[in-house]
Amino acid sequence: MSKPVSAIPRFVVGLALLAALAGGSYAQVRLDVPYVPTPQDVVERMLDMAKLAKDDFHIDLGSGDGRIAITAAKRGARSIGIDLNPVRIAEAKENAQKAGVTDRVTFIEGNLFEQDISKADVLTMYLLQGVNLQLRPKILSTLRAGSRVVSHAFSMNDWEPDQHANVTGRNVYLWIVPGKAEGAWQAESGGRKFTLNLKQAFQKLSGTATVDGKSAPVTGKLTGNTLELSADLGKGATVLRGEIKGDAIDGGNLTATRS
């Protein structure tokens, strides 16, 4: 995949320095983000917010000295850290060894824009706003619904976070990748049949519910594939809940199929 062109400042690491450190040949690494480590208390909170579970698959994009990936591995997850800077990768590997987690964490020297992130249950990043925005379409189109994305310091613009925390003065944002609810559904709840027409902007839903030819507004949100709507089906405001499973919704007080 070719790297998106952007106006983001690029930080060039002169590899006379790298060559001196690594004893290697002269080359140049063009970084999209400079190296600044995340404090450990913020790392812990990022993984708490993501509800990182044992056996989750975690990826840290731009992994620096490996601290987020190593902390994830210590919590029992399988983790991959990706960094373009060979000096950072060498540090991260050494740190993983010291932490005794080399069986669960791997560090890859590479460009974060070129990695397959589709299998991540949890994706973490401490990058820049513009880099987050370049990654956003890939996150939304390739990660499964329900995957968690956590960013230290930088947001995703109009994709509002599902959760935000201030950790000792630092912003941490959590997004839960939303499923796909947009479109028309033939629905039923509490014995009432109706048509749902939903519009989706990231995790936010709006639209109409049409019962017996009468349409009323619907608002709601998606948390992964879990849908929660507020609608008036003719008997006052009702909360409708269900789980999107492909072209169907069930698992709550709302059942529907795509029309």
Ligand X SMILES: C[S@@+](CC[C@H](N)C(=O)[O-])C[C@H]1O[C@@H](n2cnc3c(N)ncnc32)[C@H](O)[C@@H]1O
Q: What are the residues binding ligand X (CB under 6 A)?
A: 31-33, 35-38, 60, 62-64, 67-68, 82-85, 88, 111-112, 126, 152
Report phi then psi at 215, rounded to 5.
Answer: -100, 140
Could you give the C-alpha distances from 226 to 105, 243, 251, in angstroms and in order? 31, 5, 9
* β partners of residue 216: 209
Instruction: Considering the complex, state which of residue 84 and residue 218 has its C-beta at the smaller distance from ligand X.
Output: 84
Q: Which of 57, 24, 40 is nearest to 123 (CA)?
A: 57
Neighbours of 69 (CB within 10 A): 31
Cα(88)–Cα(91) distance, integer angstroms: 5
Instruction: Considering the complex, state which of residue 88 and residue 221 has its C-beta at the smaller distance from ligand X.
Output: 88
Cα(56)–Cα(239) distance, integer angstroms: 32
Instruction: Considering the complex, state which of residue 135 and residue 187 has its C-beta at the smaller distance from ligand X.
Output: 135
Instruction: Considering the complex, state which of residue 142 and residue 197 has its C-beta at the smaller distance from ligand X.
Output: 142
Closest-by-Cβ residue to ligand X is: 62
In the complex, the smallest distance separating the C-beta of residue 81 from ligand X, rounded to whole angstroms, is 8
Instruction: Considering the complex, state which of residue 67 and residue 221 has its C-beta at the smaller distance from ligand X.
Output: 67
Cα(123)–Cα(131) distance, integer angstroms: 14
Element (H, E) at 178: none
